[in-house]
Chains A and B, each alone.
Chain A
Amino acid sequence: MYAFDIERPTTVADAVKLLVASEENQPLSGGQTLIPTLKQRLASPETLISLTGIDEIKGICEDDSGRICIGAATTHAEVASGAGKYPALAALASHIGDPAVRNRGTIGGSLANNDPSACYPAAALGSGAVIVTNSRDIAADDYFQGMFTTALEPGEIITEVKFPVPQKAAYMKFEQPASRFALVGVFVAQYEGGVRVAVTGASEEGVFRWSEAEAALSSDFSASALEGLSLPGDGMISDMHGSGDYRAHLVAVMTRRAVTAAG
């Protein structure tokens, strides 16, 4: 790692002040992606602003409209055990990485990084969640803007994520066994207004909504409603773990499994 300083503010306001003090400063949440990145010298911040000492962005609660609101610095393990009102979300969190990773990694860190194979982006987009920052609310549909790219501006910190709780939902992940990231993961959620299907791990553009599947499931929420639907392999990630065509095929398989699991 290149040398850098670490600051540990205890309020969001202080964290933002420290973050904007230099363009070379960078926020650090659970560090389960950022620390390996620093070790490879792929990042060289001047100062890391650690967010894990900020109590106001930790914890899980429910707002007046029944949404599950999760503080950005809440760990995957805490979501797995504390988001029981949204079982599909808790289940997703309980299968990220391994137990030690889940004790450090945070929802805000995962969404800010927007790894194309991360699990949380599928939950946020598949639930139509709202990503709350220190300065505004961002709808998930506007937030994800491609691989490792989000609507976050420099100096902006995610503070909370608000998830509307669906009638039914499930996440199915085809795991890449070495990294434990999703080779393909599909989050399906049925709301009163329709069904949302979000796919991670597959597209070169990062997490996306599969609109044809959403339309089919909105009129008939069953795996059979998906028969004949498929996505092209073009634009899908193609690497040593699987070709684009293979990933496209997996998307359809995992979507059917998610619908069946959601019941």
Chain B
Amino acid sequence: MPQVSMTVNGKPATGQIEGRTLLVDFIRETLNLTGTHVGCDTSQCGACVVHVNGKAVKSCTMFAAEAEGADVLTIEGVAAPDGTLDTVQQAFHEHHGLQCGFCTPGMVMSAKALLAENPTPTEAEIRDYLEGNICRCTGYHNIVKAIMAASGQDVSKIAAE
């Protein structure tokens, strides 16, 4: 069985894989980092979004073998080592950007990728960027609000519900 090596959340990670092992399965089952979720398994829902070399990708639609040598960031690597939440996570907490929480890891990873590209997105740009992240609880309003807040923008005028 071939071996794959990559950096995950700043630490070296190595494991045995099959050709068909998906990146998300390597992350969840080999590394036991179960914060990255598999919602649809058909590239639609975005619960499995992680960053590979700084880019948001759906880890259910990439083979682990293709992440050889890559720098991978999962939701577990977002908060500071002492547990202090990252700006986006804190904003999701403060603005109640989640209900059941299943989609949240992917939402946070996508939001971080958006803010890296576009530090002060408009509400429309946030909604457009989240096209590949599905939430069945919140109706998205508070997620959008949280991302606006994380980017340092005034959210008082955004509809609460």
Contact = CB atoms under 8 A, between A and B. Distances in A.
Given A39-B41, A100-B49, A180 B131 contact: yes
A76 to B, nearest CB: 12
Contacts of A4: 19-20
Interface residues of A, number: 29
Given A103-B57, A180-B131, A98 B46 contact: yes
Contact of B58 (A3, A101, A178): A101
Given A3-B19, A3-B20, A100 B46 contact: yes
B63 A6 contact: yes
Contacts of A47: 19
Interface string B27-69: 0000000000000011110100100100111100111011010
- Sort chain B's interface into a size bin: 20 to 34
Contacts of B68: 8
B77 interface: no
A162 B2 CA distance: 37
Contact of B131 (A8, A38, A50, A99): A99
Interface in B7-36: 18-20, 22
Contacts of B113: 99
Contacts of A3: 18-20
Interface string A217-230: 00000000000000
Interface of B: 2, 18-20, 22, 41-44, 46, 49, 52, 55-58, 61-63, 65-66, 68, 110, 113-114, 129, 131-133
Q: What are the nearest 9 A-B pairs in CB distance?
A: A98-B132, A6-B19, A103-B55, A98-B131, A6-B65, A1-B20, A5-B19, A100-B56, A100-B58
